[in-house]
């Protein structure tokens, strides 16, 4: 032992024991203060992380509104819950939004706090960025990493103004041009001694012999003609006598009569040259074409006006097409149409729209469109089927853009007549009109505004709502949803009326995946236009029900403000009605169709035993309405052909019963109102039951526990109505 140690031992040995104890205590207290005031960096990681135990949130991949603190089964569909998030107390939760998140590129589950494989599809989870979801502007926003964008195959295009090309497809058949049909009729009575054309389909030219007609009236008329001709004597120029003028006028009137009978000038000259009357005349074709009808037989006697032949000029045809009413906005008078005939596949013909019917066919929901077609070679035949296509360049306001027709003049009756300046139609004599008055406009016109268009793959459409996702400027990988108002679809594009600006980047590929992520994160999406407000009073097993339909409740106040009293005698009879209803619910939840029908029959009887005269005022009127509905629904269950029809009727019965139970009370027992969000194609359905655990009457054993309790209805419901006077 050294001298210093000997000296310290000597001092301690001479120090009194009480004083030694006090010194040790003071030194220990000072050391404790030094340790407690040490900087956080000197503390162990285990002590700094032990503020609160970690918490886990488990959710259903099919029902993201389910959030449970531990693993298990989904109360709606029975699927295994998956881990959605994990926190380690308040301190770490505060920093959570700055920590990396990992999500499946197919968005099977909500983003997780650790990497790995997706528990649903097995794909590798990729990192996504959190958008600070507590802010209002972030409700429709999602941020993805570069890898997540690539896996989701997200593509964007700019919103632009442009004319859109509409392709209108129509079907129809070829028909005769009604304006180019000719008829040969008997202008004098007689007998058809010979028909030069004795079958249909024969082509004829103008002036060809058609009929050799015998008529006694012809002989009399020819005799008059020859007599008038003999009375006209030549005279010196400028010295006509009165008799000579009258004879000349008589001769000319007889010639006019022959012309009206169908004789040509050559035939009249032949009679005058021959100098003798004849009982026969030859009727010639007034036009060239094809004989399409032969109405009489050779040797027949005809009267004045009897139709003998019908001739059609097949060099000009009509095509009668059927256009759907949704395509009428893109069709214009004078528009060019391309078509193919079944007889000549692959060969294209063209025509011009000459008429659009003013009336819609109520059966086919189509409008007749007539197209004029030139057929000089006769290849096109009437009654041929055709497939036609019209192309329209559409500007704002639905006007058709056609540079070739801009500034031109067109006939409103014959669209093939187009001139560079005003004038009259060469066919009908009507004044020509400007093509702009017929709906055409030039792309070069200064007043033409191009419509705002987006690709057809960009909007997500459900019902009347249309949603698009846009790339947020200056924030790579961030996308936000926006509802817009769409115009008509034109080809592969939509015209946008409201909601977008030119130049914005709209998502055209991967938008369904973005929307799936929005739905999983309980944000506004295609199927959810707004986020429901949370309600702590409407939670059951971790499921928020703020979006469920509000329960119907009737005010039972009289006009003077007092409450209505429900007599005990009425309540007893209503209890019998409720008991039969609960038996129907129990039978349907256990798939017992027959038992449900028997209970429904008993319910009709119980409803008949209720004396509604016990009620007065508003309560009386309310019972009349609800009792009528319950009786009708119960009868529907009784007469139902299968259990599905019985369940549909039970849904209507439940609506009336829930209202009645709240209005008139349940007197003796507590019943519970349950809601199934998946019933009737996700429209949801409510019902009442005795038991405090779900027994679904709409799915039965298929989804026996699907549903959530919404409220309890007991004796206090009636007391709240009847006691406050």
CB of 170 closer than 8 Å to CB of 383: no
Angle at 544 between CA 111 and CA 460, to 5 degrees: 60
Q: Is 268 exposed, middle or buried (0-12, 13-18, 19+ CB in 10 A)?
A: middle
Tell me, what's the pLDDT at 320?
94
Which residues share a beta bridge with 102? 112, 127
Question: Rounded to whole angstroms, how far apart are CA atoms 232 and 249?
Answer: 10
Tokens of 317: 């045809």
Q: Could you say which DSSP state residue 704 is in? A: T
H or E, element range at 505 = strand 505-509
Tell me, what's the pLDDT at 387?
94
pLDDT tens-digit profile of 1-14? Answer: 555 445 544 554 55
Residue 64's Cα: distance from chain center in Å?
Answer: 28
Question: Rounded to whole angstroms, how far apart are CA atoms 132 and 588?
Answer: 46
Q: Where are the domains of the chain?
A: 3-38, 155-164+449-520, 178-312, 318-441, 548-722
CB of 413 closer than 8 Å to CB of 373: no
Tokens of 222: 């020819």
Residues ≥6 apart with Cβ < 8 Å to 349: 338, 339, 340, 341, 373, 380
Tell me, what's the pLDDT at 236?
55
Question: Rounded to whole angstroms, how far apart are CA atoms 628 and 661?
Answer: 15
Tell me, what's the pLDDT at 525?
75
Q: 318-441, superfamily in CATH?
A: Efflux pump adaptor protein, beta barrel domain (2.40.30.170)
CB of 200 closer than 8 Å to CB of 293: yes
Q: Which long-range contacts (CB under 8 A, 24 or more apart) does 200-204 make?
A: 200/291, 200/292, 200/293, 200/294, 201/290, 201/291, 201/292, 202/290, 202/291, 203/288, 203/289, 203/290, 203/291, 204/285, 204/288, 204/289, 204/290, 204/291, 204/311
Tell me, what's the pLDDT at 692?
86
| Residue whose pair of structure tokens reads 């058609």 in the numeric block | 210
Tell me, what's the pLDDT at 10?
52
Of 85, 58, 60, whose CA–CA distance to 75 is shortest? 60
| Residue whose pair of structure tokens reads 């469920």 in the numeric block | 548
CATH of domain 155-164+449-520: 2.40.420.20
pTM over 0.85: no
Helices (H), 407-536: 511-520
pLDDT tens-digit profile of 243-261? Answer: 777 878 888 888 888 888 7
Of 462, 472, 594, whose CA–CA distance to 525 is shortest? 462
CATH class of 178-312: mainly beta
Radius of gyration over alpha carbons of the chain, in Å?
47
Tell me, what's the pLDDT at 239?
57
Question: Rounded to whole angstroms, how far apart are CA atoms 432 and 415?
Answer: 10
Tokens of 36: 């407690």
List the beta strands (DSSP E) in 253-300: 280-284, 289-294
Residue 657's Cα: distance from chain center in Å?
Answer: 36
Residues ≥6 apart with Cβ < 8 Å to 333: 353, 354, 355, 356, 412, 415, 438, 439
CB of 277 closer than 8 Å to CB of 303: no
Of 98, 105, 104, whose CA–CA distance to 131 is shortest? 98
Tell me, what's the pLDDT at 668?
62
Q: Which parts of the chain have pLDDT scores under 50?
A: 4-5, 8-9, 12, 18, 20-21, 23-27, 29-50, 89-97, 131-137, 445-447, 531-563, 716-725
Cα separations (Å) of 427 from 179, 334, 363, 414? 11, 16, 36, 8
Q: Which long-range contacts (CB under 8 A, 24 or more apart) does 518-523 make?
A: 518/140, 518/142, 518/481, 519/64, 520/64, 520/107, 520/109, 520/110, 521/64, 521/110, 521/111, 521/133, 521/142, 522/64, 522/65, 523/133, 523/139, 523/140, 523/142
Nearest 10 degrees: CA dihedral of 136, 138, 139, 145?
Answer: -170
Residues ≥6 apart with Cβ < 8 Å to 45: none
What are residue 99's phi and psi, to 5 degrees? Answer: -85, 150
Tell me, what's the pLDDT at 70?
82
CB of 336 closer than 8 Å to CB of 352: yes
Residue 179's Cα: distance from chain center in Å?
Answer: 42
Tell me, what's the pLDDT at 439?
63
């Amino acid at each position: 032992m050294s001298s210093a140690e000997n000296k310290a031992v000597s001092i301690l040995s001479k120090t009194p024991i009480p004083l030694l104890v006090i010194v040790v205590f003071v030194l220990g207290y000072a050391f404790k203060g030094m340790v407690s005031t040490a900087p956080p960096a000197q503390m162990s990681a285990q002590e700094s992380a032990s503020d609160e135990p970690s918490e886990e949130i488990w959710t259903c991949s099919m029902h993201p509104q389910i959030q449970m603190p531990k693993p298990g089964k989904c109360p709606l569909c029975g699927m295994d819950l998956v881990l959605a998030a994990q926190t380690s107390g308040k301190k770490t939760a505060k920093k959570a939004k700055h920590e990396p998140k990992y999500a499946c590129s197919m968005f099977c589950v909500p983003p997780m706090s650790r990497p790995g494989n997706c528990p649903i599809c097995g794909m590798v989870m990729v990192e996504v960025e959190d958008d600070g979801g507590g802010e209002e502007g972030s409700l429709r926003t999602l941020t993805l990493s570069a890898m997540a964008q690539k896996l989701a195959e997200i593509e964007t295009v700019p919103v632009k103004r442009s004319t859109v090309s509409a392709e209108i497809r129509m079907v129809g058949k070829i028909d005769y041009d009604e304006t180019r049909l000719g008829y040969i009729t008997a202008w004098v009575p007689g007998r058809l001694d010979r028909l030069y054309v004795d079958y249909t389909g024969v082509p004829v030219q103008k002036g060809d012999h058609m009929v050799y007609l015998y008529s006694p009236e012809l002989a009399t008329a020819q005799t008059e003609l020859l007599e008038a001709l003999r009375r006209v004597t030549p005279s010196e120029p400028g010295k006509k006598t009165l008799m000579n003028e009258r004879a000349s006028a008589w001769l000319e009137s007889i010639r006019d009569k022959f012309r009206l009978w169908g004789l040509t000038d050559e035939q009249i000259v032949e009679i005058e040259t021959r100098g003798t009357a004849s009982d026969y005349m030859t009727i010639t074709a007034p036009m060239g074409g094809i004989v399409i009808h032969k109405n009489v037989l050779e040797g027949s006697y005809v009267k004045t006006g009897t139709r003998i032949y019908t001739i059609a000029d097949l060099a000009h045809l009509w095509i009668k097409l059927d256009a759907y009413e949704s395509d009428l906005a893109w069709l214009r008078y004078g528009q060019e149409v391309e078509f193919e005939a079944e007889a000549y596949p692959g060969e294209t013909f063209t025509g011009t729209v000459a008429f659009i019917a003013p009336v819609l066919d109520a059966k086919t929901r189509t409008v007749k469109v007539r197209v004029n077609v030139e057929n000089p070679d006769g290849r096109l035949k009437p009654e041929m089927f055709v497939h036609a296509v019209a192309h329209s360049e559409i500007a704002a306001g639905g006007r058709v853009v056609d540079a070739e027709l801009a500034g031109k003049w067109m006939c409103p009756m014959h669209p093939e007549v187009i001139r560079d300046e005003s004038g009259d139609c060469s066919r009908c004599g009507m004044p020509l009109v400007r093509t702009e008055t017929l709906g055409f406009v030039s792309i070069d016109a200064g007043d033409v505004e191009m419509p705002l268009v987006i690709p057809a793959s960009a909007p997500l459409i459900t019902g009347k709502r249309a949603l698009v996702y846009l790339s947020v400027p200056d924030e790579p990988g961030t996308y936000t949803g926006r509802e817009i108002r769409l115009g008509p679809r034109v080809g592969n594009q939509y015209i946008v009326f409201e909601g977008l600006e030119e130049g914005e980047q709209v998502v055209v590929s991967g938008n369904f995946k973005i929307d799936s992520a929005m739905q999983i994160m309980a944000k506004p999406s295609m199927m959810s236009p707004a986020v429901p407000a949370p309600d702590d009073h409407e939670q059951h097993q971790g499921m928020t029900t703020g979006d469920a339909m509000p329960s119907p409740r009737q005010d039972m106040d009289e006009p003077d403000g007092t409450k209505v009293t429900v007599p005990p005698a009425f309540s007893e009879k209503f209890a019998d009605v409720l008991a039969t209803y609960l038996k129907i619910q129990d039978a349907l939840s256990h798939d017992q169709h027959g038992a449900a029908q028997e209970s429904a029959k008993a319910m009709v009887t119980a409803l008949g035993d209720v004396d509604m005269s016990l009620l007065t005022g508003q309560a009386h009127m309310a019972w009349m309405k609800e009792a009528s509905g319950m009786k009708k629904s119960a009868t529907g269950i009784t007469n139902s052909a299968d259990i599905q029809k019985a369940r549909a009727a039970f849904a209507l019965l439940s609506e009336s019963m829930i209202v009645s139970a709240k209005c008139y009370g349940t007197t003796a027992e507590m019943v519970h109102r349950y809601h199934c969000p998946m019933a009737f194609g996700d429209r949801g359905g409510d019902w009442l039951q005795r038991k405090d655990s779900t027994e679904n009457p709409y799915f039965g054993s298929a989804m026996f526990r699907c549903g959530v309790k919404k409220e309890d209805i007991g004796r206090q419901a009636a007391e709240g109505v009847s006691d406050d006077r």
